[in-house]
Structure 1
Amino acid sequence: MKLRRSALVATVALVAAGALNAVPASAGHPERPADLSLRALGQRSDLAIGTAVDMAALDDTTDPQYRKLVAEQFSSVTPENVMKWEVLEPTQGTYNWAPADELIAFTKQNKQRVRGHVLVWQNQLPAWLTDGVNNGTISDDQLRDILHKHITDTVSHFKGKIWQWDVVNEAASDPWDSPSTIHYKGFWTQHLGGGIIADAFRWAHQADPKALLFYNDYNIEAFGDGGPGDKTQFVYNMVKQLKHDGVPIDGVGSQGHLGTQYGDYDALQINDTLNRFTDLGLDVAFTEVDVRSQMTAGVQAGDSNEINPRLQAAAADFSALMQGCLANRRCISFTVWGFTDKHSWVPGWFKDPLEGMATLYDENYQPKRAYNTLKADLIFAGRR
């Protein structure tokens, strides 16, 4: 459910900004739920509310608001880049743990959990690895051993400090790929076959048996027709087989990258999908949520006739994901992929046409309609 709002966007931002700076309630003035942070409201429903963190922004002493909001608003943190392989091991055999360790220290200080991201992904790999495979100096057998070592070294280094690991990320193709039948894609399955997915989970579990191990992917918020072009069905079949084979997989992460220009799903469709995964005995989580909009000339010129509908549509999409999650007790975390447009990845990636406005706060750290809508969903949730 959502609170109804009829005020202008600017008014909503001012009200929410005031809530962020509200004085703690005294015994004579009971605390209002609307004055609580996302973090505090999520705790009432036993749901971790998280954000991806840009370490450069976190360390920017000229911009203390970023660090302040990460600590205040979120109970879970995902490293946006500093646990990816190209950052962790830029030179073979030489690890750069410092940025990730710094983030871990920050989360410990602020009593936050950590989602580790990511162990097996075809992007942001170190050049020494991809070049070696391409020029033939690294064979497929050697590549398998290198991956085993990377997973073991990384998970062992952070053992006891990571709540959830994204073990394998985006291994399923899309229906617009060729062929359109969904299949395994990317560097790792191309060289080592689909069986490497199970191996990755086994290696991660051996290194830290207490960490929750997730498969993570985008465009799996709802099932399609169940046919060969249905990506969600493909992922469902994959994890069902992994469970059947005794592979130590604990959950499925649905990234939740949405766009207001598309016909996105409602909360019941989303909840049905989560229920089908949890019926397999898995936990579920939304792991990278943002809702982007096309930055038309009117939007960039500040035309409220174009901006307001996009803000309302984004709030509805954020809310559908949150409501779908709240209706399933095994949906254990809801993570946004950055919380402010000031540090969003979207405009740098979606350029033709340009897209943006994807997060809960604008570039000046003013909360948008989506922020209050998520708070309303958490306030009225039945989970206690």
Structure 2
Amino acid sequence: MAPGSSSHNRLLSRRRALHLCLGTAACLSGAVIQRKMPLVVQRRSSVYNNREFVVDGQRALKDRAAAKGILYGAEINHQQLSADSDLAAQFIQECALLVEGGGLKWFLTPSPLRPAPNTFDFTAADWMLRFSQTNQVKMRGHTLVWHQSLPPWFEETVNNRNAEQVMHSHIRTVAGRYRGQMHSWDVVNEAIRVQDGRSDGLRKSPWLEFMGPDYVELAFRITAEMDPNAKLVYNDFGLEFGSRKSDAKRESVLQLLSKLMSKGTPVHALGVQGHLDTTRPINSSKLRNFLADVAALGLEIFITELDVTDRSLPADAATRDRVIAGVYEDFLSIVLDEPRVTTVTTWGLSDRYTWLSEFFPRSDGLPVRPLPLDSDLNRKLAWNAIARAFDNAPSRTII
């Protein structure tokens, strides 16, 4: 199915659904499968059994982060926040940064931003901005240019003759509306896909097909013109792991960022998404070196979509929580050693609302537990682990 097609976007209205679930029989069929704990998870579980995730509970995550010059926040969407006052209260307590998970994507139901070629619906995004300003929470814009969540009309309307005008108009309208009110924008999202076979590593997306590789630079320049005080971010996934695939992706991302910086492109930060999997090891030296290379370009580094899937962990909630907490602490201990890492955002705050419930469900049907708070909004070991990682992080100055 071609990227950008209406069928493609209806099926992938939320993140990378199909290729993230590919090969997971339970995800595709809903079958209940009893799995043994993978060896790497067994080893982690053994290590984490001897780790005490103990912290004082007096300070919220945002305050612990701020004490070290780090901005902490979470993704949430308008429907969740407006309908759930208990969640809203917890969000205000724990978070200093808000990411509207869907309302600023081009076409994500039930509140698509671009329902028609000449129509914008800012209802959700405007509500979220009012919420953030009322509660003194900064807001990030996610995302201006992406190969997914394109509307059904995109395939019928956009071509190599008008794509630049369409992108230009979109960024001018959206970034211009929120000029001076956003902490940052994910300007271009997930433009690298090494397996597509290009020497520059760029994903074969509709934007690349219609505009060529310079679409990335152009998107940043237009956004900087429309919202000159916001931090402009290139955001991508799969940069954390120790595999050859991740090695190649890190190399391509560095190549892209180096090229943009050499041309004076107004890019200010790399977004490392941080969708972690308990079965995929992180190579600490590779990750540290990569972050140092990004920092050497003069860029900040944001951890933008942090969560930990528990689909391969045993049913026992206490065991799952301990392993997930260990993965959070190990990852954050690595990345926060780099002083240019200035922002940490979890992709959700409570297990009550997580994209993993839909796209990475457990084969045994049990609710997933990937986030700092459980579905009853109680703090979990994951909260403790994140808190302790902030407490132990070296101080830095937010630029």
Fold shared per TM-score above 0.5: yes
Q: Which residue type is aligned with residue 348 of structure 2?
A: G
SS in 2 for 1:341: coil
Q: Which residue type is aligned with residue 260 of structure 2?
A: L
After the TM superposition, which of the residue ranges 138-147 and 252-261 deviates more from structure 2?
138-147
Q: Which residue type is aligned with residue 229 of structure 2?
A: K
- Residue 354 of structure 2 is matched in structure 1 by 344
- Residue 243 of structure 1 is matched in structure 2 by 261
Q: 1:184 to 1:221 in 2, by over 3 A?
A: same
Report whether the alignment pairs 1:312 with 2:301. no
- Residue 79 of structure 2 is matched in structure 1 by 56
Report runs of 4+ in structure 1 exceeding 6 Å deviation: 4-9, 178-181
**Unaligned segments of structure 2, at least 5 residues:** 1-46
Q: 1:351 to 1:180 in 2, by over 3 A?
A: farther
Selected match of 2:170 from 150, 156, 159: 150
TM-score (norm 2): 0.79
Selected match of 2:386 from 369, 374, 377: 374
Query: Is contact 1:224-1:233 (8 Å) kept?
Result: no
Query: Is contact 2:194-2:252 (8 Å) kept?
Result: no
- Residue 210 of structure 1 is matched in structure 2 by 229
- Residue 356 of structure 1 is matched in structure 2 by 368
Selected match of 1:290 from 283, 286, 307: 307
Query: Is contact 1:258-1:289 (8 Å) kept?
Result: yes
Q: Which residue type is aligned with residue 99 of structure 2?
A: T
- Residue 72 of structure 1 is matched in structure 2 by 93
Selected match of 2:297 from 267, 280, 296: 280
Question: How far did residue 224 of structure 1 move?
Answer: 5.9
1:106-185 equivalences in 2 (<5 Å): 106-132=131-157, 138-175=158-195, 182-185=201-204
Alignment deviations for residues 56-90 of structure 1 (CA, whole Å, 9 cap, x no partner):
11111xx3221011111010111100011122221
Q: Distance between the aligned counterparts of 1:212 and 1:35, measured in 2?
A: 31
Query: Is contact 2:61-2:95 (8 Å) kept?
Result: yes
Query: Is contact 2:240-2:246 (8 Å) kept?
Result: no
Q: 1:258 to 1:228 in 2, by over 3 A?
A: closer
Alignment deviations for residues 257-283 of structure 1 (CA, whole Å, 9 cap, x no partner):
0111222344x5433321110101111
Report whether the alignment pairs 1:99 with 2:124. yes
Q: Which residue type is aligned with residue 90 of structure 2?
A: L
**Unaligned segments of structure 1, at least 5 residues:** 17-32, 133-137
Question: How far did residue 198 of structure 1 move?
Answer: 0.6
Q: 1:35 to 1:339 in 2, by over 3 A?
A: same
Q: Which residue type is aligned with residue 258 of structure 2?
A: K
Instruction: Please report the RMSD computed on the Cα atoms of aligned residues, expressed in angstroms.
Output: 2.8
Question: How far did residue 328 of structure 1 move?
Answer: 2.0
Q: 1:57 to 1:140 in 2, by over 3 A?
A: same
Query: Is contact 1:261-1:293 (8 Å) kept?
Result: no
Q: Distance between the aligned counterparts of 1:377 and 1:228, measured in 2?
A: 24
Selected match of 1:220 from 239, 253, 275: 239
Q: 1:181 to 1:279 in 2, by over 3 A?
A: closer
Q: Distance between the aligned counterparts of 2:247 and 2:327, measured in 1?
A: 24
Question: How far did residue 53 of structure 1 move?
Answer: 1.0
Report the number of matched residues: 344
Query: Is contact 1:182-1:228 (8 Å) kept?
Result: no
Query: Is contact 1:255-1:288 (8 Å) kept?
Result: yes
Q: Which residue type is aligned with residue 302 of structure 2?
A: A
Question: How far did residue 113 of structure 1 move?
Answer: 1.2
SS in 2 for 1:35: coil
Q: Distance between the aligned counterparts of 2:170 and 2:294, measured in 1?
A: 29
Query: Is contact 2:48-2:326 (8 Å) kept?
Result: no
SS in 1 for 2:179: coil
